[in-house]
Structure 1
Amino acid sequence: MKRVQELPLDERPREKLHKMGAQALSDLELLAVLLGSGNRQVDVFTLSARLLALLDSVGTAPTVEELVAIPGVGRAKASLVVAGLEFARRRIRPHGVKIALPSDAYPLIRHMADRTREQFLCISLNGANEVIAVRTVSVGLVNRALVHPREVFADPITDRASAVIVAHNHPSGNLAPSTDDLAVTRQLKAAGETLGIRVLDHIIFNHERQYSLMENGQL
């Protein structure tokens, strides 16, 4: 991974944001802008990657203590990240967004497309198909060993969700569902029927588009 100073000027996160807008930046680049700089031991991109890995693991409400446990993160940067995430959550959280079509879910998960490993996500919905929460369930290849119904439905049960949409990214860019993708979908649908929580769709996505198993008759 190159240091910021090694990138052409128009490819540096801050300059890219000025030129193209914040929506054009990856999560890694947005964190680099937020942090501003690294330190003598670690550059800002490496620091951002470490923070991103933690956020993918613990969600969007880390504690200062969890952040300062990351090598290179002091209390000042940890406080900045925690405050920034809380401000964003209060202002633009997805809670209440209504899902009528699979394409309505895509903006809520698209930012995960740049991950180098598959991220399995679960969107909890209420009876009006409004979003309660979006969470990462597991990281790694999608199979029945990693994506177990008890992990997928644990939070939706607490949410009192009526339905869920599950999704995962394909880092290769190929959106065709694998045999494991289809098997996991069948397993989750059956478990959801037992629990009274409908599985409305399984979406496979990359940065440019999505593939809906529901729309393609594979749910």
Structure 2
Amino acid sequence: MNGKRIKDLPQFERPREKLRARGPQALSDAELLAVLIHTGTKGKSAVELASALLKEAGPNLSRWGLAEFTRFAGVGEAKACQILAALELARRHFQRGPGRVETPQDALPYLAPIRDRKQEHFVTLTLNGAHEVIECRVVTVGLLTSSLVHPREVFADAIADRAAAVILAHNHPSGNPEPSGDDRALTRQLVEAGRILGIEVLDHLIVTKTGYTSLRERGHLA
């Protein structure tokens, strides 16, 4: 586009008008992102800015957070929040699929966003009586111990969802999926809390970029 503003383009080439006329499938990745960010910068159209952002992020775009987006010249906090909201909405709907969890492997696609995080993320999957996923949520971020991950926070959403069961999960940034003493203690505490509430803890998974451990399979949920 060589610095052209979007409003200087013929209408059929403008991303928003193109989407309206031909549907989102007709747009390139850069054009879709340009619709989200809406405006460019001095000397760069929204499409050019989007193209540069996609080139910089590469395959890690879906893993970028607010800090990464706002460090990119021309993307302020408002634009970054719009992009993050769209990515999260797409991720949630993509995850839902059939949604039935019978084995630890069935739960892994829901945990993909946390597997390579540099901080520990504790996640709950709430399930109905047929073990179909209702929702996947991050409960807390940071060093996980039984004093920091409280049953109140873990089960609050499960109660609101009228869930019959939950699967607990967190990542190990070290890359070692072996459960620590704190992991085992936390699991026992949450299993007992679930029994009191009538919400079964089906498993506690520890995930890394390359593997996982099921504490149920290790016998720590008895």
TM-score computed with the length of structure 1 as normaliser? 0.66
1:1-219 matches, within 5 Å, as: 36-37=51-52, 49-51=64-66, 72-73=75-76, 75-87=78-90, 89-90=92-93, 92-94=94-96, 96-219=98-221
Distance in 2, matches of 1:95 and 1:163, equals 19
Distance in 2, matches of 1:53 and 1:190, equals 40
Q: Residues 110-166 of structure 1: CA distance to partner in whole angstroms, max 9, x if unpaired?
A: 231111111111000000000000111111111012110000001010000000000
Distance in 2, matches of 1:218 and 1:112, equals 22
Structure 2: gaps (5+ residues): 1-48
**Is the 2:194–2:200 contact (alpha carbons within 8 Å) kept by the matching residues of 1?**
yes
Q: 1:139 to 1:77 in 2, by over 3 A?
A: closer
Distance in 1, matches of 2:193 and 2:186, equals 11
Distance in 1, matches of 2:67 and 2:159, equals 27
Q: Residues 178-201 of structure 1: CA distance to partner in whole angstroms, max 9, x if unpaired?
A: 110001000000100010000010
Distance in 1, matches of 2:130 and 2:82, equals 36
Distance in 2, matches of 1:53 and 1:125, equals 33
Distance in 2, matches of 1:95 and 1:158, equals 22
How large is the Cα RMSD of the aligned pairs? 3.0
Structure 1: gaps (5+ residues): 1-33, 55-66
Q: 1:50 to 1:130 in 2, by over 3 A?
A: closer
SS of the residue 1:218 aligns to = coil
Identity of aligned residues (%): 45
Distance in 2, matches of 1:53 and 1:156, equals 32
**Is the 1:175–1:210 contact (alpha carbons within 8 Å) kept by the matching residues of 2?**
yes
